[in-house]
Amino acid sequence: MKFSPLVDELIQALKCLPGVGPKSAQRMAFQLLERDRKAGQSLGHALSKAMSDVGHCQSCRTFTEEVHCPICASHKRGQSQVICVVETPADVLAIEAGGHFSGRYFVLLGHLSPLDGIGPDELGLALLEEHLASGEVSELILATNPTVEGDATAHFIADMAKSHQVIVSRIAHGVPVGGELEYVDSTTLALSFNGRLPL
Amino acid sequence: MKFSPLVDELIQALKCLPGVGPKSAQRMAFQLLERDRKAGQSLGHALSKAMSDVGHCQSCRTFTEEVHCPICASHKRGQSQVICVVETPADVLAIEAGGHFSGRYFVLLGHLSPLDGIGPDELGLALLEEHLASGEVSELILATNPTVEGDATAHFIADMAKSHQVIVSRIAHGVPVGGELEYVDSTTLALSFNGRLPL
Ligand SMILES: [Zn+2]
Ligand SMILES: [Zn+2]
């Protein structure tokens, strides 16, 4: 039943959010209309503003509404000789939450995926190569995901970095701390054996 | 880390949606920014428009941006002598999806809850009483939820309707069709015994 075009439009629009189907879209729309129109207004405003004004850092490609993101713009980290390469801005947040990495980042915004038309250009690898060629980078830490595409992307970038005499490493993959061996999948287990370190 | 005020604001704002915590808010924000800014813009627009323009039907209190909702405005159903009382607009949608009810509705937008300051006024019962007093209502079907508050609300409205010589009924509660007896909770089971019908 189309009992209100505006409400129907809102329910349809909410389905663009990941993990939101027709039922939860309806629940969300009704909850905002019934109980929190102010929050709904704020969300509408935040969405419009972010979608139109958020761009990408000209140095690392993460999201920012400035020319450079705070990390690249910072005096301390923006000049770091260590660059960590990740697939997404969410990965940057995850690593920053850990608080142990003090270099800068390069965000690919994806991984090599020829079938989807995602090649070196889409990942901004020319910009990364500029950084490498500048002589201001001593180490590249590859933190792409341990998937087929993430692996391929890491190897592609590793080859590129080596031609610029930059040290390349990849973060370790293995059994997570607190994880129980018997519940870890076999691929992870294989990686943790291959990456074993002498004690 | 606050790497982008606009992105942070968007993530915060998304948490107003029911069932959306910090992690999913972040995932939603990044997905829209990375892959579907147009959908994000549409959602922002739909939210702003719905929050400011959607009001309540002057006859049944459901959501509408018109004076009367399509059901109340319809020649056939708007004059129906049978009114079904529900707690929320979502209940209207659920009953309409069934397609077997052809009367009109009255939407309480809640249930009696004295501790939360929700009394007869908040539920628009004066408007419902106007309908009852008009002599144009023959039956009131109470479809409030089978909860303590829903029950209390149903009884309150039933008393009101009886003083206007209107037939009052309540929808049956019991084992759902296709439900398995052994998995139905004991309260529902008790209701289904109390509401048993002769064969
Ligand atoms: Zn940056
Ligand atoms: Zn109406």
Does one domain contain both B19 and B114? Answer: no
Does one domain contain both B102 and B160? Answer: yes
Does one domain contain both A20 and A87? Answer: no
Q: Is residue A81 part of a domain?
A: yes
Cβ <8 Å between A44 and B24: no
Q: Dihedral through CA B54, CA B60, CA B66, CA B67, nearest 10?
A: -120
Does one domain contain both B21 and B61? Answer: no
Per-residue tokens: B59: 């006859």
Cβ A44 vs Cβ B47: under 8 Å: yes
Does one domain contain both A16 and A78? Answer: no
Give which of A9, A12, A17, A37 to mutate to test B binding, by max B Cβ within 10 Å: A17
Q: Give the per-residue pLDDT at A186.
A: 82
Report the distance separating Cα B26 and Cα B32, nearest Å.
10
Q: Is residue B195 part of a domain?
A: no
Q: Is residue A114 part of a domain?
A: yes
Residue A96: closest CA among chain B residues belongs to which residue?
B1
Cβ <8 Å between B42 and A90: no
CATH number at residue A91: 3.40.1360.10
Q: Give the per-residue pLDDT at B197.
A: 75
Q: Give the per-residue pLDDT at B185.
A: 83
Does one domain contain both A80 and A16? Answer: no
Cβ <8 Å between A17 and B54: no
Q: Is residue B183 part of a domain?
A: no
In a structure prediction context, what are the per-residue pLDDT tens digits for chain A, which is 199 residues long?
Answer: 567 899 999 999 999 999 999 999 999 999 999 989 999 999 999 999 999 999 999 999 999 999 999 999 999 999 999 999 999 999 998 888 888 899 999 999 999 999 999 999 999 999 999 999 998 999 999 999 988 999 999 999 999 998 998 999 988 888 888 778 788 888 888 888 888 877 7
Does one domain contain both A136 and A96? Answer: yes
Does one domain contain both B73 and B166? Answer: yes
Cβ B195 vs Cβ B173: under 8 Å: yes
DSSP A59-84: TT--EESSSS-HHHHSTTTTT-SEEE
Does one domain contain both A35 and A97? Answer: no
CB of A5 within 8 Å of a chain B CB? The answer is yes
CATH number at residue A19: 1.10.8.420
| C-alpha dist (Å) from residue A165 to A82, A97, A140, A191, B147 | 13, 31, 11, 27, 71
**Tokens 């829209």 appear where?**
B32
Q: Is residue B131 part of a domain?
A: yes
In a structure prediction context, what are the per-residue pLDDT tens digits for chain B, which is 199 residues long?
Answer: 567 899 999 999 999 999 999 999 999 999 999 989 999 999 999 999 999 999 999 999 999 999 999 999 999 999 999 999 999 999 998 888 888 899 999 999 999 999 999 999 999 999 999 999 998 999 999 999 988 999 999 999 999 998 998 999 988 888 888 778 788 888 888 888 888 777 7
Cβ B131 vs Cβ B106: under 8 Å: yes
Does one domain contain both A9 and A66? Answer: no
- Selection from B32, B23, B30, B22 nearest residue B4 by Cα: B30
Number of folded domains in chain B?
Answer: 2
Cβ <8 Å between A10 and B40: no
Does one domain contain both A24 and A63? Answer: no
What ipTM score was computed for the predicted complex, to two decimals?
0.84
Which residues 73-112 on chain B approach chain A with CB closer than 8 angstroms? 88-90, 92-93, 96-97, 109
**Tokens 């296709």 appear where?**
B178
Q: Is residue A29 part of a domain?
A: yes
Q: Which of A3, A34, A64 sits opposite B92 (nearest CB)?
A: A3
Which conformational region is residue B169 in: left (phi greater than 0), alpha (psi within -120 to 50 degrees), or beta? beta
Q: Which domain holds residue A35?
A: 5-53
